[in-house]
Structure formats: C-alpha cells, structure tokens
Amino acid sequence: MKFIVSSSDLLKRLQGIGGVLNSSNTLPILNNFLFEIKGKSLTISASDLETTMTTAIEVEAKEEGSICIPARMLMDILKAFPEQPLTFDIDGKTCGIEISSDNGKYKLSGHSGNEFPKVPTIESPSKAELPAEVLANAISKTIFAAGNDDLRPVMSGVYFQLENDGITFVATDAHKLVRFKRNDVKAAEESSFIVPKKPLNLLKGLMAASGSNVKMEYNENNVFFAFDNITLVCRLIDGKYPNYSAVIPNENPNKLTIDRTELLNSIKRVSIFANKTTNQVKLKMTGSDLVISAEDLDFSNEANERLTCNYQGEDLEIGFNSRFLVEMLANMDAQEAIIQMSAPNRAGIIVPNGDTAGNEDILMLVMPVMLNP
C-alpha cells in the first residue's frame, strides 16, 4: 500500500480529529489513527470507544488497504515538516511504515487496520439537518452550564429536544441552567437525547469555520454528525433528563435592566475581592441604583461599585456566585441584559433585552447564594 499526500493538508486533518484521542487509553490501539485507502480517497479515523471522528482527504494511490499509525508520533513528524508531498509506503505483512520526504526517509512501525474498533452504525435512525453555525452557536451558548458530577451523568451533557416547531438545547448542573431555542430549524419527528460534552466541544471548534449544513442522525444509543468531510459518531448519555421547565419560576416581579458589558466588567472587578469558596457577590437594588459588593472576611478584602440601572420592583438584596454570572453574561450577545427576580432565596432569570440574533430564544437561570445575616 502506497500513497502520496500533502504534509500540511494531512496535519490539518489530523489536528481536526486528534482531539478525540485520550492521553491514557485502556486499549493501546486507540493511540493510533486508522488510515484506509479506497480509490483516491484516504479516510482517517480516531476513537476513544465512546466517540469516533473520521475525515477524508484526496491522495495519489494505486492500491487499497488499511493501517494503524501511532498518532502522537505522526503528528510530531508532520509539525516538523514544511509544506511538501510525502510518500507513505506500507508493508502489509510487517505493518512497517516508511515516510519519504524531499530530505530523507523515516521509518516507524504500525498495526494492522483490522485491530481498530469498528465504527458503530446507526440502525433505523431519525434525521435532522441544520446549519453548522447554528449548531456551533447553540453548543457555545449552553455547554458551559453542563455539570461535571459523575453521580449525575445526565447533567454532564447537553439535552437536545427536537420538535416540529423548533429545536431546544438545555444544559444544567443544578446551580445554573441555560435553555436555548431555535424556531427556524425543525425536525420531521419529535425526539430528545443527551449528548456528552467532549464530542460537542470537538464539533464546536470545527463547525465555527464551516458554512455548510450538518446532517444529524440518531437513535436511542448513538448520534451521528456529518458536515464538510468530517463525521462524528458518539454514544449518547443514557437516562432521563430532569424536568427543566418545572424549575423556571414564572412570577418574577422584580426586573433589573442594565447594560450587559458594564455589569459584566463590574462583577469581574468586584469578584476579585469575594470569598474564594463561595465566590459570592451581592446585588442591592434601590430605585435606579444597583450596588454590587463582595467581601472576604478572612482576609479583610472588600469592594463595592455603584451602577445606574433601570429597576422596577421592591428594594431587593440578593447574592449570586460571581463565576456563574460572568459565564452567563459573557455568553449573551445583546447590549442590555434583564435580570428577573422574586426573592433573595429564589432563582434569578437572565434574558437579553430586545431582539436577539435571528430566531433565537435564550433563557439563563442562576440559583442564589444565601447572604450572611
């Protein structure tokens, strides 16, 4: 088996799918890329058993075959080359690999392509299609709110809810929640599933630069994404997602409208002085005044800032985790944010003020931190 390929093109493709690789694998074969030649097409796969990514590239080749090549070593070699054609000559019997460049020859040993795990096929899948930028944006706006608790695996991914009138993406860790809806993307049949964070982070980076549509196929166990020359198939998180609608309070008479960037920057500054365990910042609203304060009694650190705002409701003092507020405000595009509240011990709702981009509807919920008496 022999083929010629551009060094920079090959490196770019490997970097695209290389994020799947784990630093420590139970199966040594997973430390390799699977190379498969069919006709003039080279298909490269990387897997961690839960997620498999594949990309294709045109090459000059005369015979078909497959080989597993050590991933880290191959990527290190390619990074050291300037752009040039490389010839890969593979001995099918010994799995020896010889790479020839303009300057020399490099030999390494691979493994039989038959040892690589087979990519799961999705039987009788449901299908949906949406623009890559829409899906990338939905992942960016929600994934930061997903949890990391191994005891609650259903909360460690993003919930996809496909309906006839749109798609809803939800992420929560029980302290914060984001619900992101698109009403311009519809599914032929209603369905829902939970996708783990790792494959979504991989997709997000690759889709942001894509102008094409993503084809999505899914059943009870797996979901398959395909766009440009990349495919990703991953195992879904098994379990029932919590009833997120039940925790979103409907009655929030106290409403704070404020410049989003101004509030974000103020919280960033004040939170430096907050207790490092609770990260608590206090919001005190009276009339058109908002006072943001934080203190760390252990180190006698203290800060407060006063901002002008539009506030409707009773005077209110409420505490929030500053890290959550910063993440939420940073992942919102609108110039102004609205924070809706009912009481110091009830969740606050953050929504953009006015029109959001396109057909988006985003709602963020954050649980309060109890204030010290």
pLDDT over 70, % of the chain = 98
Q: Could you tell me if residue 121 is inside a domain? A: no
Asked if 171 and 158 count as a contact pair (C-beta separation under 8 A), the reply is yes
Alpha-carbon torsion (275, 276, 278, 280), positive or negative: positive
How many domains does the structure of the chain reveal?
3
Burial of 55 (0-12, 13-18, 19+ CB in 10 A): buried
Q: Could you tell me if residue 372 is inside a domain? A: no
Q: Which residue has the higher pLDDT, 122 or 156?
A: 156
Q: Could you tell me if residue 85 is inside a domain? A: yes
Mean pLDDT across the stretch 250-266?
95
pLDDT confidence of residue 373: 52
- Residue 143 pLDDT exceeds 80: yes
**What is the tens place of the pLDDT at every residue in 330-349?**
999 899 999 999 999 999 99
Q: How confident is the model at residue 164 (pLDDT cuts 50, 70, 90)?
A: confident
pLDDT confidence of residue 356: 59
Q: Could you tell me if residue 120 is inside a domain? A: no
- SS3 of the chain: helix, strand, coil, percent, to 5: 25, 45, 35
- Do 260 and 322 have their domain in common? yes
Mean pLDDT across the stretch 7-11?
95
**What is the tens place of the pLDDT at every residue in 79-90?**
999 999 999 999
- What pTM value is reported for the model? 0.91
Domain edge (last residue) among 241, 276, 294: 241
- What's the mean pLDDT when you consider all of the chain? 93
Q: Could you tell me if residue 236 is inside a domain? A: yes
pLDDT confidence of residue 24: 85
pLDDT confidence of residue 32: 97
pLDDT over 90, % of the chain = 83
- Do 228 and 137 have their domain in common? yes
**What is the tens place of the pLDDT at every residue in 189-215?**
899 999 999 999 999 988 977 889 999
Asked if 234 and 282 count as a contact pair (C-beta separation under 8 A), the reply is no
**What is the tens place of the pLDDT at every residue in 66-113?**
999 999 999 999 999 999 999 999 998 999 999 999 989 999 999 999
- Residue 183 pLDDT exceeds 90: no
Asked if 284 and 291 count as a contact pair (C-beta separation under 8 A), the reply is yes
Q: How confident is the model at residue 171 (pLDDT cuts 50, 70, 90)?
A: very high
> What is the Cα–Cα distance from 124 to 153, expressed in whole angstroms?
26
Asked if 223 and 193 count as a contact pair (C-beta separation under 8 A), the reply is yes
Domain edge (last residue) among 221, 241, 261: 241
Q: Could you tell me if residue 356 is inside a domain? A: yes
Residue 106 three-state SS: strand
Q: Which residue has the higher pLDDT, 307 or 373?
A: 307
Mean pLDDT across the stretch 220-242?
94
- DSSP letter assigned to residue 334: S
Q: How confident is the model at residue 357 (pLDDT cuts 50, 70, 90)?
A: low
Q: How confident is the model at residue 114 (pLDDT cuts 50, 70, 90)?
A: very high
Strands 176-182, 126-131: parallel, antiparallel or unpaired by DSSP? Answer: unpaired
Range of the domain at 103: 2-115
Mean pLDDT across the stretch 285-312?
94
Asked if 178 and 145 count as a contact pair (C-beta separation under 8 A), the reply is yes
- Do 258 and 357 have their domain in common? yes
Q: Could you tell me if residue 211 is inside a domain? A: yes
- Do 237 and 259 have their domain in common? no
pLDDT confidence of residue 358: 63
